[in-house]
A and B are shown apart, each in its own frame.
Chain A
Amino acid sequence: MEKVFVCAVAELLPGEALRVETDPAIAVFNANGVFYALADRCTHGAASMADGYIEEDCTVECPIHSAKFCLKTGRALTQPATIDLAKFDIKVEDGNVYVLAPARRAA
């Protein structure tokens, strides 16, 4: 695992998400001030979960076909998704957000 810089804490507001160009791409979410990281590509269709809707119950809804995933575990909670999203660990250090990714995307 490699520690990849995501952004400064202040740059990712609650309710927002951004996509990190690792391999595979990772979506980092801020849900009520807590950061989570899941695989960015929906396990059902070709959607970016960073474009998804972050809900009050700590889930993210796919922007295309509305499958819901748990932000804490990556678990697929509703149809049409049946396969969980991979989950990654977050580190917050010195006001910066990092994700522990399998590999940085080749430049």
Chain B
Amino acid sequence: MQDKLNIKGLVDARHGKVKPAIYVDEDVYQLELERVFGRSWLFLAHESQIPKSGDFFTTFMGEDPIIVARQKDGSVAAFLNQCRHRGMKLCHADSGNTRTFTCPYHGWAFGLEGGLTSVPLEEEAYRNNLDKSQWGLIQVTRLTTYKGLIFGNWDESAPSLEEYLGDMAWYLDGFIDRREGGTEVVGGVNKWVINCNWKFAAEQFCSDQYHAPYTHGSAIQVLAPTPENKADGKPLGDGQTQRPAWANGLGGVQFSENGHGSAFFFTEKADANVWVGGEVSNYFRETYPEVEARLGRVRALRLAGHNTIFPTLSWLNGTQTLRVWHPKGPNQIEVWVFCIADRAASDEVKEALKQSHARAFGPAGFLEQDDSENWVEVQKVLRGNKAQQTELCMQMGIGFEERRKDGIPGVTNHTFAETAARGFYQRWVDMMTSETWAEIETKTQEYQEEIVRG
């Protein structure tokens, strides 16, 4: 197909180069909504948020507002949150339980299953001639639940969620399948706005271990378990390995495939190593044998590290933050953050996880604030005309990609690399420049085979 916006000229993943117009251009953004968000598997909700018939949660797929609703038969359905009469946003609540979605504008009402059930003044205004069966809500074409996470996709021809995830499922299982019973969302959803392009946030969680020692230097300094930081004798992370994971010399792995990415360090102890509370540390240590039996040593020990499922679902092990970077134009995102806990954990542990999560990665979290500040400042620089044309370097670890023989799957590299960023942007280019899913998959496959040499 024609590459009218010269997408291929803006991103050269094979040589690790990117032009920042992709973070600000309105035309690029509109094409993203159509070709990336209109065809990717997008996280909608966690099953634990809508346990009962009539429970609903409202979210977004790209910029399209979505209602996710538990049906009377226990299944889940999702709809465009838009009345079929004059296009009004149908449901204005964040979540709740209902029997009917009634439009606040003229009062058209839709059932849980999306059908138009009631039209005010139907006899007088429509002479009973309105065929209500033709005016149900637009249903999200495909919906799949993976271990409690509900995903939607508008594209009939997209690969199954399992194929889409590929080896990323191995890393995801390490987060949501640690114990019998799976996970649940603890507490509510934290939402806030960051004035940056969605790709900065998604890319960092996909690929960027490199920023941590420097960007989070102040947190590392004040949270170190040294005598001067131990005024109350109970510093965060007490009882854990007493230095950052990257300093232990055991190395680590970065993973990249299908635009997804993940990274972590090897450790010898079941330590979260991200300054969680003492109850949380204890919980991870106590449950280690059960988790090792389910997932094996590498994933059971993996209690830190970053992850992105392309395009906008990210999480961090240990601090248990799961988030979606909802795009709001090229220059803004709304971050939706969920704290994820093993369902089998005690109420005390869940409360401790919630506090630990909020302290590090809530809207005022000591690590969260460092990250968003960077993205906002980059976005400000990109208001400049020259700045939008500067070629940026994305070459870390280029040419050192491999496939490991120890069971850790996918295209991998050292944990300090930009292999996953290059994979993320290559997938982005493949989606932006392809008509069909078959074409996207062929291009991604070719790229992945090409970068792993020998």
A4 at the interface (CB under 8 A from B): no
Mark each residue of chain B from 109 to 138: 1 if its CB lies under 8 Å from any CB of chain A, else 0: 100000001101010000000000000000
B100 at the interface (CB under 8 A from A): yes
Mark each residue of chain A from 61 to 91: 1 if its CB lies under 8 Å from any CB of chain B, else 0: 0011110000000000000100000000000
B317 cross-chain contacts in A, Cβ below 8 A: none
Interface of chain A: mostly helix, strand, loop or mixed: loop
Mark each residue of chain A from 36 to 66: 1 if its CB lies under 8 Å from any CB of chain B, else 0: 0000000011110001000000000001111
A63 cross-chain contacts in B, Cβ below 8 A: 98-100
A46 cross-chain contacts in B, Cβ below 8 A: 117-118, 122
Complex formed: what's the CA distance from A67 to B120 in Å? 13
Residues of A whose CB lies within 8 Å of any CB of B are 44-47, 51, 63-66, 80
Complex formed: what's the CA distance from A45 to B107 in Å? 10
**B136-186, CB < 8 A from A:** none
Complex formed: what's the CA distance from A51 to B99 in Å? 7
CB nearest neighbor in A for B110? A64
CB nearest neighbor in B for A65? B107
A47 cross-chain contacts in B, Cβ below 8 A: 100, 109, 118
A80 cross-chain contacts in B, Cβ below 8 A: 107, 120
Complex formed: what's the CA distance from A65 to B100 in Å? 9
Complex formed: what's the CA distance from A91 to B100 in Å? 31
Query: Shortest CB–CB separation between residue A76 and chain B, in angstroms?
Result: 16
B444 at the interface (CB under 8 A from A): no
B102 at the interface (CB under 8 A from A): yes
In the complex the two chains form, is B99's CB within 8 Å of A45's CB?
no
A44, A46, A51, A64: residue with the most chain B Cβ atoms closer than 10 Å: A64
Complex formed: what's the CA distance from A64 to B98 in Å? 10
B98 cross-chain contacts in A, Cβ below 8 A: 63
Complex formed: what's the CA distance from A70 to B100 in Å? 21
Sample of 6 more A-B contacts, CB < 8 Å, known A63-B98, A80-B120: A45-B109, A46-B117, A51-B100, A64-B107, A65-B102, A80-B107
B107 cross-chain contacts in A, Cβ below 8 A: 45, 64-65, 80
Query: Shortest CB–CB separation between residue A38 and chain B, in angstroms?
Result: 17
Mark each residue of chain B from 275 to 303: 1 if its CB lies under 8 Å from any CB of chain A, else 0: 00000000000000000000000000000
Query: Shortest CB–CB separation between residue B100 and chain A, in angstroms?
Result: 5
A65 cross-chain contacts in B, Cβ below 8 A: 102, 107, 109, 118, 120
Complex formed: what's the CA distance from A66 to B109 in Å? 11
Query: Shortest CB–CB separation between residue A13 and chain B, in angstroms?
Result: 15
Query: Shortest CB–CB separation between residue B379 and chain A, in angstroms?
Result: 43
Q: Which 8 A-B pairs have the closest CB atoms?
A: A64-B109, A63-B99, A51-B99, A63-B100, A46-B118, A45-B118, A64-B118, A64-B100
In the complex the two chains form, is A45's CB within 8 Å of B120's CB?
yes
Query: Shortest CB–CB separation between residue B128 and chain A, in angstroms?
Result: 12
Mark each residue of chain B from 337 to 359: 1 if its CB lies under 8 Å from any CB of chain A, else 0: 00000000000000000000000
Q: List 27 A-B contacts (CB under 8 A).
A: A44-B120, A45-B109, A45-B118, A45-B120, A46-B117, A46-B118, A46-B122, A47-B100, A47-B109, A47-B118, A51-B99, A51-B100, A63-B98, A63-B100, A64-B100, A64-B102, A64-B107, A64-B109, A64-B117, A65-B102, A65-B107, A65-B109, A65-B118, A65-B120, A66-B102, A80-B107, A80-B120
CB nearest neighbor in A for B120? A45
Query: Shortest CB–CB separation between residue B96 and chain A, in angstroms?
Result: 11
B109 cross-chain contacts in A, Cβ below 8 A: 45, 47, 64-65
Complex formed: what's the CA distance from A66 to B104 in Å? 11
